């Protein structure tokens, strides 16, 4: 996986395609959100449970570069790695078409933690992420 620490394979669903016959861009945001949440879940962290504890990781800033559109029937792999930058966790999330691994999306997702309504930090998230953070 190289620099990537987590990956998830998915398949385009036809309802995600719009009248141009390609996946509507907003769905890539869904794909990468689902990948982050599944990464958290694989580490034992449930997004829904965090919310019940008053901890809401939210996206502060998002950059997406669209390379090749996915189409009906395409399979793809969604990969991520992350960095810490002050209070922010920055996820680098890339999507590649299968089986040719053609780049589909390159994205950077800056997330912050809202704890009890204010910008904060979550010890649970930090301990989860720290093994994956580069020094």
* Positions of E strands within the chain: 6-11, 55-66, 75-85, 88-98, 103-115, 118-120
Stretch that binds its own copies, among 42-50, 88-96, 115-123, 124-132 (CB under 8 A): 42-50
**Does 98 help bind its own copies (rule: CB under 8 A)?**
no
**Does 25 help bind its own copies (rule: CB under 8 A)?**
yes
Task: State which of residues 4, 5, 7, 37 lies at the interface with its own copies (CB under 8 A).
Answer: 37
Task: State which of residues 4, 5, 7, 29 lies at the interface with its own copies (CB under 8 A).
Answer: 29
DSSP 105-135: EEEEEEEEEEETTEEE--HHHHHHHGGG---
Residue 18 is among the residues annotated as catalytic for this protein: yes
């Amino acid at each position: 996986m190289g620099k990537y620490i987590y990956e998830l394979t998915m398949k385009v669903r036809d309802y995600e395609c719009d009248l141009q016959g390609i996946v509507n861009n907003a769905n890539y945001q869904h794909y990468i959100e689902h990948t982050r949440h599944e990464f958290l879940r694989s580490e034992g962290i449930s997004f829904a449970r965090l919310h019940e504890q008053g901890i809401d990781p939210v996206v502060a800033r998002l950059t997406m570069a669209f390379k090749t559109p996915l189409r009906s029937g395409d399979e793809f792999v969604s990969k991520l790695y992350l960095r810490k930058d002050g209070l922010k966790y920055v996820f680098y999330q890339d999507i590649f078409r299968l089986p040719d691994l053609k780049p589909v999306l390159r994205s950077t997702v800056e997330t912050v933690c809202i704890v009890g309504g204010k910008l904060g930090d979550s010890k649970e998230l930090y301990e989860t992420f720290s093994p994956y953070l580069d020094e």
